[in-house]
């Protein structure tokens, strides 16, 4: 480890910030296996999207995937610029709503390329698209989003259709604010212009198919046999693990003043009937009941009931 590595590690430990609210009822974290599957699908789509832009715009273009994350829709919207091009799409057959977000300046340069220009951005970069401009962008994106069907073929059958365009993310309610969504972030470079684009897909639609695929066992017979052998060895090993066992009377409730005032010779009434068996406890869980007694010169107990209770 070099001095620079130590300094970087120290700087990471010193970084602090406000705590983030996490709702355990709706976890916003992708399972590693699911995340890798989605990354591979979006990587395939990014390559095809770049090829589509090269062919349609007749300009150098490159699309690369940056990250695939899961968050709430509200967090996704708050991460977008105040003015951007949000192309609203429909996912068939679920009829769910997806969003393709492209910066306004890059969208304008696409329009200029499609009209035979050098990719210049004319006018205010925050203006809305005209009807003709939107039709050009719709046709371009519709061809590109056709590759999303190919990229997600192994995950779920989807067909993306471009519907409309919006420009103010804070006023766009594609799904409920707290709903989980899959957000893919891309770096798009067309000509000399480079910026960030995103695609939002409803997480419920995507993850339902991924979880359904986990139910099918694709392992070979040897792999299943090795797994069963490992489980048997684990169960056999657990039988030899030492476990502390305690026998206790029924609990009694007292006041703090009584505990503080205890002294040698004081009598504490337990309220445990002499005819009632004692509890046999393992890790604070009652596993059986036993009667107190002796065996030789040692105290012992005789198990009279082995029904486990919580």
CA–CA separation, 98 and 94 (whole Å): 11
CA–CA separation, 28 and 22 (whole Å): 8
- Interval 179-190 mean pLDDT: 93
Instruction: Write down the pLDDT at residue 6.
Output: 45
Which distant-in-sequence residues (6+ apart) come within 8 Å of 182 by Cβ?
30, 38, 68, 69, 70, 200, 201, 202, 203, 206, 207
Greater model confidence, 46 or 94: 46
Closest by CA position to 162, among listed 86, 90, 56: 90
Asked if 279 and 250 touch (Cβ cutoff 8 Å), the reply is: yes
pLDDT class of 287 with cuts at 50, 70, 90: confident
pLDDT class of 306 with cuts at 50, 70, 90: confident
Question: pTM of the predicted model, to two decimals?
Answer: 0.62
Instruction: Write down the pLDDT at residue 20.
Output: 60
Report CA-CA distances (Å) from 128 to 114, 133, 169, 255.
17, 9, 13, 72
DSSP state of 100: E
Q: Which residues of the chain form CATH 3.40.1550.10?
A: 23-214
Instruction: Write down the pLDDT at residue 11.
Output: 47
Q: Tell whether the torsion through CA atoms of 56, 59, 64 and 66 is positive or negative.
A: negative
- Interval 127-148 mean pLDDT: 91
Instruction: Write down the pLDDT at residue 46.
Output: 94
Instruction: Write down the pLDDT at residue 24.
Output: 57
Q: What is the pLDDT of residues 215-255, one digit of tens each?
A: 556 678 888 889 889 999 988 888 888 889 998 888 888 88
The region of weakest confidence among 159-163, 201-205, 207-211, 265-269 is 207-211
Fold of 23-214: Chemotaxis protein chec (3.40.1550)
């Amino acid at each position: 480890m070099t001095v620079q590595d130590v300094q970087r590690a120290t700087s990471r430990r010193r970084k602090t910030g406000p705590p983030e609210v996490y709702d355990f009822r709706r976890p916003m974290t992708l399972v590693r296996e699911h995340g890798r599957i989605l990354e591979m699908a979006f990587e395939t789509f990014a390559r095809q999207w770049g090829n589509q832009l090269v062919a349609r715009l007749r300009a150098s273009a490159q699309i690369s995937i940056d990250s695939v994350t899961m968050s709430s829709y509200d967090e996704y919207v708050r991460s977008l610029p105040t003015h951007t091009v949000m192309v609203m799409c429909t996912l068939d057959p679920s009829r769910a709503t997806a969003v393709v977000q492209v910066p306004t300046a890059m969208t304008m340069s696409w329009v200029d390329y499609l009209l035979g220009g050098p990719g210049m951005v004319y006018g205010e970069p925050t203006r809305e698209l005209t009807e003709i401009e939107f039709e050009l962008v719709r046709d371009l994106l519709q061809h590109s989003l056709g590759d999303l069907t190919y990229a997600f073929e192994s995950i779920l059958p989807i067909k993306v259709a471009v519907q409309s365009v919006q420009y103010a993310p804070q006023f766009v309610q594609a799904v409920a604010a707290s709903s989980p969504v899959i957000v893919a972030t891309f770096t798009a470079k067309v000509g000399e212009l480079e910026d960030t684009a995103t695609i939002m897909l409803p997480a419920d639609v995507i993850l339902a198919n991924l979880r359904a695929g986990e139910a099918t066992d694709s392992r070979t017979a040897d792999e299943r046999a090795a797994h069963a052998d490992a489980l048997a060895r684990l169960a056999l090993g657990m039988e030899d693990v030492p476990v502390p066992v305690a026998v206790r009377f029924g609990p009694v409730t007292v006041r703090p003043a009584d505990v503080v005032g205890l002294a040698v010779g004081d009598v504490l009434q337990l309220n445990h009937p002499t005819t009632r068996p004692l509890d046999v406890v393992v890790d604070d869980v009652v596993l059986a009941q036993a009667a107190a007694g002796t065996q030789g010169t040692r105290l012992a107990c005789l198990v009279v009931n082995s029904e486990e209770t919580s």
